[in-house]
Chains A and B, each alone.
Chain A
């Protein structure tokens, strides 16, 4: 089986998840090649070689400088048209999800998303994934080639190996509509703000808090427990809390001893950032909230009643 792995990079570093996917592909025993798209990125090819790629297909073009999906669909269409790949694998991200889905439409090729494992069974590639809030596990497949797959973020750890890599350059004509969207400001990691990765206790607040002022409830509980405060994307996007405190796919990954989720529905994109926590407590008024599928201790109730009481009880304990 011949795999092509899409390499994502930011500020001259290959994204960890794409290296993890390279390693997974290598472990399946096929040929593992990778594709690198960008401007001035040739130097990153060697890194891909150290994580499992034997060949890197490189398109280095100023038009690919901004991390936008549509020109990448054009480039991949050209590449998979010239070479036969059984599967094209993507580590899920905001960019790669849009690239993978655009490519699926362009090629009429099947895309399975949110996979947490890949296996070759009876010579056939099988994707594995939990779905419906991770309440069901499914084995999925493809009826056409190339098979396109998005791997859930944080799934595979990169494994360093002593490989060398061949770089093969290619070119592609980019379509006008693909170049129509442009980037006016590009994101940079915001380093200021509290560090939540090292905290033993994380108390997280979501939209169920109802207003930015109510973050005080979460802050008080975190203070009583000696922990840090985290937030969901929904409240960060709404400007209720700083991005530095966000947990999830596009935020931080934390694995504290205790994670208390208050008014958080528990979307997969949030879960991937905190599923490594030892103990998860959830307070949510909706008994069907997905968070209850993976909380160790779930309370169906109003956080405005429960959180202040909990804070008070913790304070009393600590004072005693």
Chain B
């Protein structure tokens, strides 16, 4: 059995949009989307629990420099990374991203495809459903507890009405919640070993995806304009110097909230 984990590399720290392109500014430091670390951890747990899991492969679509951030997954214990990167792919929306990622996953033909809870930059929390449709595989999203038996997976997950339990036969697509596990920290040995593990970069052409089907050309949404949020009135944000509790009390008294 093979497990593929889809991860996104996102900007580290404060997010901002480039006013020119209206796209996210990805020029600064980048990091593995924290929500995806849970998906990596879950894959490693499944590998450790079942002798039939041969490989955990990390799959991402994004700028080439993302490879460095993806090594964290290798350092945690994943076996291999595949990064799809192409100049023509910048500005891909859900339609384009799911097409490209779908093609990369098709090539891997993993038995289980895992996603994280959401991308910390775009907050879509939707990509898995588009990819599951492209792959024509059953889907369970928002999974807080995952188990496996006889070629099937069970997922317990929260909806607006409480907790459901769903079952899907493999091959399947699963998106996990941020509380499904406590991700491990990479060991020093893991970090040292990560660089030597296979790291493949693919272009759209390698996947047989037409450049016109990715990037802005392959996208179906657009951003017309960006603006500032409405003014918020008086707000306070301060660093605790030991007196924060007193200051909160003063504030609550002013607001007659105490």
A residues with a Cβ closer than 8 A to B are 10-11, 15, 67-70, 73, 93-95, 97-106, 108-114, 126, 130-144, 150, 175, 177-178, 180-190, 201, 207, 225, 233-238, 243, 249-250, 257-258, 267-269, 278-279, 281, 283, 287-288, 292-302, 305-306, 309-310, 312-314, 317
Identify 19 residue pairs between A and B in the complex whose beta-carbon atoms are under 8 Å apart, listed by A's number: A101-B94, A101-B127, A105-B94, A105-B95, A105-B131, A109-B220, A110-B219, A140-B223, A141-B222, A187-B162, A234-B179, A238-B179, A250-B160, A279-B252, A287-B237, A297-B235, A297-B248, A297-B251, A299-B248
A174 to chain B, nearest CB (A): 13
Interfacial chain B residues near A180, Cβ < 8 Å: 137-138, 168-169, 172
Instruction: Choose, from B58-66, B204-212, B239-247, the stretch at the interface.
Output: B239-247
Q: Is the CB of A105 within 8 A of B224?
A: no
Name the B residues within 8 Å of A137 (CB-CB): 226-229
Whether B249 sits at the interface, judged by CB under 8 Å, is yes
> Interface residues of B toward A: which range?
35 or more
Nearest CB in chain A to that of B229: its residue: A137
Q: Is the CB of B159 within 8 A of A93?
A: yes
**Chain B residues whose CB sits within 8 angstroms of the CB of A267 once the complex forms:** 123
Q: How far is the CA of A238 from the CA of B180 in the complex (A)?
A: 7
Interface class of chain A by DSSP: mixed
B139–A144 contact, CB under 8 A? no
* CB closest residue in chain B, given A240: B179
Q: For chain B, residues 147 to 190, give those with C-beta under 8 angstroms from any C-beta of chain A.
A: 154, 157-169, 172, 177-180
Q: Which 9 A-B pairs have the closest CB atoms?
A: A301-B240, A110-B220, A237-B179, A187-B162, A309-B245, A101-B129, A101-B126, A105-B130, A181-B138
Contacts of B220 in A (CB 8 A): 104, 108-111, 142-144
The interface of chain B, by Cβ under 8 A from chain A, is: 13-17, 22, 93-95, 98-99, 102, 121-134, 136-142, 144, 154, 157-169, 172, 177-180, 219-229, 232, 234-240, 242, 244-249, 251-252, 255, 257-258
Other than A133-B15, A299-B237, give 4 A-B pairs with Cβ distance below 8 A: A15-B160, A111-B220, A299-B239, A314-B258
Say whether, besides A97-B126, A299-B248, A306-B244, A105 and B98 are in contact (CB < 8 Å): yes
**Shortest Cβ distance from residue B182 to the other chain A in the assembled complex, whole angstroms:** 9
Which residues of A sit under 8 angstroms from B244, Cβ to Cβ? 283, 299, 301, 306, 309
